């Protein structure tokens, strides 16, 4: 099957960046509808700048089964530096399961001194 990549800016509201709120949860992307194939394999990359960790900062891939009313964590990744982080959900790996048809990326922080800015988001929907 041919690979598809969606490399357009996926940052919330098509902004150029998202400043992560200290000691809170911040949405990096809008809700992303997934096809059936994409619920089995999704690779996300998020580039961060201005990272300062006092408590902890966590990038999360979440999914929703009820059109965004509730969200559950699929994968998480600690954010510690100004680099690009990848999160992959791939049902060909034993530990990964199918996602529900709506996804999003968020970042959470646990301290008022935590800062980070998401400057780019890429999605690879290869199957």
Q: Strand 25-27 to strand 102-109: parallel, antiparallel, or no bridges (unpaired)?
A: antiparallel
Mean pLDDT of 77-101: 94
**Torsion sign across C-alpha atoms 28, 31, 32, 36:** positive
Residues 6+ apart with CB under 8 A from 96: 89, 90
pLDDT at residue 1, rounded to an integer: 46
Q: SS3 for 39?
A: helix
**Count of H-run helices and E-run strands, the chain:** 0, 10
| Token representation of residue 1 | 């099957």
- Compute the distance between CA of residue 126 and CA of residue 40 in angstroms, rounded to an integer: 10
pTM: 0.90
pLDDT band at 29; cut points 50, 70, 90: very high
pLDDT band at 12; cut points 50, 70, 90: confident
Least confident of 7-21, 44-58, 84-98: 7-21
Mean pLDDT of 20-26: 93
pLDDT at residue 35, rounded to an integer: 86
- Compute the distance between CA of residue 12 and CA of residue 120 in angstroms, rounded to an integer: 10
pLDDT band at 5; cut points 50, 70, 90: low
The per-residue pLDDT for range 53-69, each reduced to its tens digit, is 999 999 999 999 999 99
pLDDT at 2 over 90: no
Architecture of the CATH domain 5-10+19-124: Sandwich (2.60)
> Taking the domains of the chain in order of start, what are their residue ranges?
5-10+19-124
């Amino acid at each position: 099957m041919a690979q598809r990549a969606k490399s357009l800016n996926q940052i919330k509201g098509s902004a150029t960046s998202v400043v992560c709120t200290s000691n809170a949860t911040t949405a990096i992307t809008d809700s992303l509808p997934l096809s059936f194939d994409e619920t089995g394999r999704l690779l996300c990359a998020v580039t961060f700048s201005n990272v300062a960790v006092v408590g902890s900062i966590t990038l999360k891939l979440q999914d929703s089964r009820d059109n965004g009313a509730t969200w559950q964590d699929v994968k998480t990744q600690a954010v510690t530096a100004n680099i690009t982080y990848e999160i992959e959900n791939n049902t060909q790996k034993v530990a990964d399961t199918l996602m529900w048809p709506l996804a999003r990326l968020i970042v959470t922080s646990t301290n008022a001194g935590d800062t980070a800015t998401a400057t780019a988001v890429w999605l690879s929907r290869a199957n």
